[in-house]
Amino acid sequence: MESADRIRAIMNALRTSDSVSVAELALAYGVSEMTIRRDLDELAQQGVVRRVRGGALSLLLRGEEPPFGVREREALDAKRRIGAEVAGLLADGEAVLLDGGTTALEVARAVRERRLTILPLALQAAQELAGAPRIRLVLPGGEVRHGEMNFVGPLTETSIKALRFDTAVIGCCGLSAEHGLTAHDLPEVAIKQAAIASARRVVVACDSGKFTRTAFGAVCGLDRLDVVVTDENIPRDQHDALTAAGVAVRTVPASVPVG
């Protein structure tokens, strides 16, 4: 099992248990205890766990999203393919609002050579696009959310409402037929709602893991979405519910084929 897969598996274990054991994890994943200790040390540096003798305790609140640095490594192959697929949906000359988050960052990397006007809602994407020669980069005002580095607050919301976009590329913490698009951070909910209201077309970019989660804040129902770009592991019932609601679903391979 690769390091990124192990980290993701440990994170999943921490979502259902308040503690994990080095010995049990080593046995479950077929690696040495030293390897598991290194994994837990990495998660401790990210603020996900507190190391204790023989294992670690979870520091995440129920329903809280993992840190950006941890999420950035989750489903990375799928996110890169999603980013490329979203880039292919954009026509040169479009005005695009690009949400924050790890999948949106892959979209930013995929459009660096394109001719677009982009308003990014995260500093990571702004930095990625700053040197792109044909990108017209527009930044919103507002407060930068610590850790995530997303723009939030009334200044950001006012900036978005003053503009009109051809496409808003939106990320999410959860997406389902029952609860629609959801996010953990309430200030970000208001920003996403403003983004959706200011765009002619709404494209949601998310890996299939988001279809098993519902976050605290409700952003919008499926009726406000035009396209969802995800990976092939999207649950069939969710795929069918999206298409029944008139949402176009585009899927990409979840991982790199071997051989």
Between 108 and 11, the higher pLDDT residue = 108
128-165 confidence digits (pLDDT tens): 999 999 999 999 989 998 877 899 999 999 999 999 99
Strand stretches in the chain, DSSP E: 19-21, 49-52, 55-58, 95-98, 116-120, 135-137, 143-144, 151-152, 165-170, 174-176, 180-183, 199-205, 217-220, 227-231, 248-252
Residue 73 has pLDDT above 90, yes or no: no
Q: What tens digit of pLDDT does each residue of 182-194 get?
A: 998 899 999 999 9
What 8-state DSSP symbol labels residue 79?
H
Mean pLDDT of 229-245: 96
What are the percentages of helix, strand and coil residues in the chain, rounded to 5?
40, 25, 35
pTM for this model (two decimals): 0.79
Q: Which helix (H) or strand (E) is 104 found in, with range?
A: helix 102-110
| pLDDT value at residue 113 | 96
**Is the model more confident about 119 or about 258?**
119
pLDDT of the residue at 212: 79
User: Would you state the pLDDT for residue 258?
Assistant: 44
What pLDDT, on the 0 to 100 scale, is given for residue 259?
45
Ordered by where they begin, the domains of the chain are 3-62 (1.10.10.10), 71-252 (3.40.50.1360)
Looking at per-residue confidence, does 170 or 185 come out higher?
A: 170
pLDDT, one tens digit per residue, over 144-153 is 988 778 999 9
209 and 232 in contact (C-beta within 8 Å)? no
Residue 68: pLDDT band (50, 70, 90) is: low
**pLDDT tens digits, 2-21:** 777 788 788 778 776 778 99
